DNA sequence: CGACACGTTGAGATATATCAAACGTGGTGG
DNA sequence: CCACCACGTTTGATATATCTCAACGTGTCG
């Protein structure tokens, strides 16, 4: 029932739409940590909603080194794009133990054909992933090692805060420094040194699977973090109308 | 009327769907080279189809240095994602003079509400951009300077070949080395050195706004290029079948 | 012809990778 | 309980890729 309650990443969905999606869930499962769910090239017949835990999407290079291309938090529709695309260009795995719900693609087909508005909102939800990809491109292309790690911590802080898993000053992040290196395109050794420098500058501490942010302003400055690309909306999406800006009437 | 004929990037669209889109075009325009079309944060009421020329999407850092996050070729729907998203997280500009067609969002709304299949295909088309973003993340995160440039040349070759603007061994690419550096996350000086090394290894030559590929196998190997993420389909029935990976040049 | 954008080259600085090793810690089995 | 192991973390020394700064070349176009 409260299955998707945490889900505010898909802030684009109304309560009713979320409920419809919920009814379409075929199966719930617990996956172990560090399990591969989908391999690059696989064909999908259902999509996966992450309920609890952390998952990543990644691409391997020739030597088998991973580049992580997306990091998923509870409430994310991990591979909704698998519905229009059918076949995935990347692999999907858990980092931690994860609780998931799967939605068959034919259920999605029925839902989207019945409700064009829902369809567009699901479309938008996959586009948020694309926006995040772009910001990651910026991170890898324009930031130095410290900036990349800071940016990831700041981004994750904002995302987790939106779902109530961070108070803005710290959050649990049960991943290794090697995971961080695969996210930031660095070596794990260098990540370790970056972490030390962030610690010594009293910016933030990553230790025992937890990020403690001591100076959020500085962290976000080092990472040149500007959260607009997350398209986060104020938490109570199904209560208050969005106070962001007046919508151009849609012509409906 | 041959407006979208080149368009094979949206290989997901049928002829009829493409025609419907074509009828929705409100305006055609010629943009000058190096003109900004959309600024990060702008709200969109129409989307832009690129008919001729090259465009980019980019994000600026604090010092105003660009990271290019997407490179667009004729036939691309440059900002279709602006329809569900409304507001863009990045800027859009031309590199060369460009001919474009604009489609109002309310026309898209009508089309997608009338035809769920078309809606899903347009959705898929934006997901191809996301797939490209992911490959670019791989490029920036896991490849060295030579690999990044080689990967971009190989990718662009494949994309242009799909729309008949490359014969597989060379194509016009009227961009500067500085543009290349903003795409690959390098300095223009280093790009210059990489280009020399590609030239001296008889892999490919970039000169006078043209890429000449001397050893496609090696180029793709250096760039670890695997085109599956482009989701290219064999170019319909009206053209010659694509030479698959079984090429006479045995490469490596 | 001169101006300006773009390309090329060199020398030195710096960030990050690589290699090697030690350290801590939680879990496991004897 | 200890011994030990696997895994992740930390540190040091060195190598190397890329950047930075500076200068010079080259083509194009008014």
Query: In which band, very low, low, confident or very high, does the pLDDT at A12 lie, cut at 50, 70 and 90?
Result: low
pLDDT reported for residue A11:
53
pLDDT reported for residue B90:
97
B199: the nucleotide nearest its CA (via C1') is: C8
Which pLDDT tens digit goes with each residue over A138-154? 999 999 999 999 999 99
Instruction: Determine if strand C comes within 7 Å of the CB of A33.
Output: no
CB spacing of B89 vs A124 below 8 angstroms:
no
pLDDT reported for residue A3:
47
Q: What is the pLDDT along chain B (252 residues), one digit of tens a residue?
A: 444 544 444 456 777 777 888 888 989 999 999 999 999 999 999 999 999 999 999 999 998 899 999 999 998 999 999 999 999 999 999 999 999 999 999 999 999 999 888 898 899 999 999 999 999 999 999 999 999 999 999 999 999 999 899 999 999 999 999 999 999 999 999 999 999 999 999 999 999 999 999 999 999 999 999 999 998 875 444 444 444 444 444 433
Which residue, among B85, B97, B8, has the nearest Cα to B52 in the 3D structure? B97
Which pLDDT tens digit goes with each residue over A145-200? 999 999 999 999 999 999 899 999 999 999 999 999 999 999 999 999 999 999 99
Which residue, among A50, A182, A59, has the nearest Cα to B130 in the 3D structure? A59
Nearest-Cα distance to chain B for A227, in Å, is: 10
Q: What residues of A are in contact with residue B67 (Cβ under 8 Å)?
A: 137-138, 141-142
pLDDT reported for residue A8:
47
**pTM for this structure?**
0.91
A88 CA to C3 C1' in angstroms comes to 52
pLDDT reported for residue B146:
98
Which pLDDT tens digit goes with each residue over A201-219? 999 999 989 999 999 999 9
């Amino acid at each position: 029932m409260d299955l998707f309650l945490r889900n505010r990443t898909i802030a684009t969905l109304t309560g009713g739409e979320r409920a419809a999606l919920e009814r379409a869930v075929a199966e719930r499962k617990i996956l172990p940590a560090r399990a591969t769910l989908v391999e690059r090239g696989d064909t999908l017949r259902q999509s996966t909603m992450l309920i609890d835990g952390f998952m990543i999407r990644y691409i391997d290079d020739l030597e088998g080194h991973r580049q992580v291309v997306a990091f998923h938090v509870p409430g994310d529709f991990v591979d909704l794009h698998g519905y229009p695309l059918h076949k995935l260009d990347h692999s999907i795995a858990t980092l931690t133990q994860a609780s998931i719900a799967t939605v068959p693609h034919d259920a999605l087909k029925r839902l989207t054909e019945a409700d064009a508005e829902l369809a567009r909102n699901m479309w938008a939800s996959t586009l948020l992933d694309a926006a995040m990809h772009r910001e990651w491109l910026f991170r890898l292309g324009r930031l130095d090692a410290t900036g990349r790690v800071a940016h990831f911590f700041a981004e994750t802080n904002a995302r987790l805060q939106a779902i109530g898993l961070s108070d803005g000053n710290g959050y649990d992040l049960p991943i290794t420094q090697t995971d961080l290196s695969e996210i930031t395109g660095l070596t794990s050794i260098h990540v370790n040194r970056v972490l030390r420098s962030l610690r010594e500058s009293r910016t933030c501490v990553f230790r025992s699977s937890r990020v403690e942010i001591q100076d959020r302003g500085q962290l976000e400055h080092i990472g040149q973090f500007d959260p607009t690309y997350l398209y986060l909306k104020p938490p109570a999406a199904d209560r208050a109308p969005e106070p962001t800006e007046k919508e151009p009437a849609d012509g409906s």
